[in-house]
C-alpha cells in the first residue's frame, strides 16, 4: 500500500513539474511537451481501439493528428496566417483516398476513427497555446499565470470533488458511467473552484475577479463531463486505464481527460470576452 502510494505521488509530482515548468519556462518548451503528449495520446487512443479489433494499427491517424496539432500551434505562435489552417480540409479528404489503397472491410470506420482521434486528442492539446499566449498570440507574448491558473482550477475542482465525495458522498451523479462520482463531491469541488478563482483574481493580476469566476463556472461542469466521457470510452472497451505511462495514474488520456475537454470552452469564452 505504501509503495503504491509513493509511486503514485512521485509520478504525479513529475507530471506536475513537467507541465508547470514548461508553462513558466517558454512557449516553445510547452509546445514540445504538448507535442509529446499529443503523440502519446494518439498512440493510446488508436492502440486501445486496435487492441479491441475495431480498427487496424493506425499510423496515418497519428500523423494526421500531429500535423493538425502543428498547424494550429503554428497559428497560435503567429508563424502562419489563419488561412493556412484551411489546409486541414483537403487533408481530411486525403484520408478517403488513402483508404482506397488499403485492404480493409470497414474503410469508413477507419476514417471515422482517424478524425475522432484528432478531434478528441490533437485539437485540445493545440488549444493550450491560445491560453498561454492570450490575448495577442506570438512567441514573445505569453502569460504563464493564466494557463497555470486554469490548471489549478481544474486540478482543484477534481481534488476537492474527490475529497468531498469520499467523505460525504451518497447521491450518485452519473451511476451508469461513473458509480463513484456523487453530487456531494461535485458541489464540494465547485465551491472550492469558485474559491480558487477568487484567489487567482486577487493575486495573479491576469484577469479580473468576474472573468475568473466565469471561467470557474465553465470548468466545473466541463471538467466533470470530460471525466465522464473518458470513463465512457474505457467502459465501452472494458478497460481500467487508457495506458500505463504514469505509474498509479494511468495514461495520457486519463490525466488530461478533464483539461482537454474543458479547453475548447475556455478558449471560446476567453476570446469572446477579450
3-state secondary structure the chain: CHHHHHHHHHHHHHHHHHHHHHHHHCHHHHHHHHHHHHHHHHHHHHHHHHHCCCCCCCHHHHHHHHHHHHHHHHHHCCCCCHHHHHHHHHHHHHHHHHHHCCCCCCHHHHHHHHHHHHHHHHHHHHHHHHHHCCCCCCCCCCCHHHHHHHHHHHHHHHHHHHHHHHHHCCCEEECCCEEEEEHHHHHHHHHHHHHHHHHHHHHCCCCCHHHHHHHHHHHHHHHHHHHHHHHHHHHHHCCCCCCCCECCCECHHHHCHHHHHHHHHHHHHHHHHC
Report yes or no: 129 and 177 within 8 Å, Cβ to Cβ: no
Which of 144, 154, 253, 160 is CA-nearest to residue 204?
144
Question: Same domain, yes or no, for 79 and 162?
Answer: no
Q: What is the pTM of this model?
A: 0.92
User: 121 pLDDT exceeds 60?
Assistant: yes
Which residues on neighbouring strands pair with residue 182, listed in sequence order?
A: 172
Q: Is 167 a domain residue?
A: yes
138 pLDDT band, cuts 50/70/90, is low
Question: Omega before 102 cis (within 30°)?
Answer: no
Question: Same domain, yes or no, for 219 and 252?
Answer: yes
Determine the pLDDT at residue 8: 66
Determine the pLDDT at residue 40: 96
Least confident of 55-69, 164-178, 243-257: 243-257
Determine the pLDDT at residue 242: 79
Share of the chain above pLDDT 70, in %: 94
Share of the chain above pLDDT 90, in %: 68
**b/e burial code for range 153-186 (CB count within 10 A of at least 16 → b):** bbbbbbebbbebbeeebeeebbeeebeebbbbbb
Question: Same domain, yes or no, for 203 and 126?
Answer: no
Report yes or no: 57 and 43 within 8 Å, Cβ to Cβ: no
Question: Same domain, yes or no, for 174 and 274?
Answer: yes
Question: Same domain, yes or no, for 122 and 196?
Answer: no
Pick the last residue of a domain from 88, 115, 142: 142
Q: Is 4 a domain residue?
A: no
Q: Is 70 a domain residue?
A: yes
Domain span at residue 273? Answer: 143-274
Q: Is 116 a domain residue?
A: yes
Distance CA 56, CA 46 (A): 8
pLDDT in tens, 162-179: 898 888 878 888 888 888
Question: Same domain, yes or no, for 39 and 127?
Answer: yes
Determine the pLDDT at residue 67: 97
Distance CA 171, CA 162 (A): 14
Amino acid at each position: 500500500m505504501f509503495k503504491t502510494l509513493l509511486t503514485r505521488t512521485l509520478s504525479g509530482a513529475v507530471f506536475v513539474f513537467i507541465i508547470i515548468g514548461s508553462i513558466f519556462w517558454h512557449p516553445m518548451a510547452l509546445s514540445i511537451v504538448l507535442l509529446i503528449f499529443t503523440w502519446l495520446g494518439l498512440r493510446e487512443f488508436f492502440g486501445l481501439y486496435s487492441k479491441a479489433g475495431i480498427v487496424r494499427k493506425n499510423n496515418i491517424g497519428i500523423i494526421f493528428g500531429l500535423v493538425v496539432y502543428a498547424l494550429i500551434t503554428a497559428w497560435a505562435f503567429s508563424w502562419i496566417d489563419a488561412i493556412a489552417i484551411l489546409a486541414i480540409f483537403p487533408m481530411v479528404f486525403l484520408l478517403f483516398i488513402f483508404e482506397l489503397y488499403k485492404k480493409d472491410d470497414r474503410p469508413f470506420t477507419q476514417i471515422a476513427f482517424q478524425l475522432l482521434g484528432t478531434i478528441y486528442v490533437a485539437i485540445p492539446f493545440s488549444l493550450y497555446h491560445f491560453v498561454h499566449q492570450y490575448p495577442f498570440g506570438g512567441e514573445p507574448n505569453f502569460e504563464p499565470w493564466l494557463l497555470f491558473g486554469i490548471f489549478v482550477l481544474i486540478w482543484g475542482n477534481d481534488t476537492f470533488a474527490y475529497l468531498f465525495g469520499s467523505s460525504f458522498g451518497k447521491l450518485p451523479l452519473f451511476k451508469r458511467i461513473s458509480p463513484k462520482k456523487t453530487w456531494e463531491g461535485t458541489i464540494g469541488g465547485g465551491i472550492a473552484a469558485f474559491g480558487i478563482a477568487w484567489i487567482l483574481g486577487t493575486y495573479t493580476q491576469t484577469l479580473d475577479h468576474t472573468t475568473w469566476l466565469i471561467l470557474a463556472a465553465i470548468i466545473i461542469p466541463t471538467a466533470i463531463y470530460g471525466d465522464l466521457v473518458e470513463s465512457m470510452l474505457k467502459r465501452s472497451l472494458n478497460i481500467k486505464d487508457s495506458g500505463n505511462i504514469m505509474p498509479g495514474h494511468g495514461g495520457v488520456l486519463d490525466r488530461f481527460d478533464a483539461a482537454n475537454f474543458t479547453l475548447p470552452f475556455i478558449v471560446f469564452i476567453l476570446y469572446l470576452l477579450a
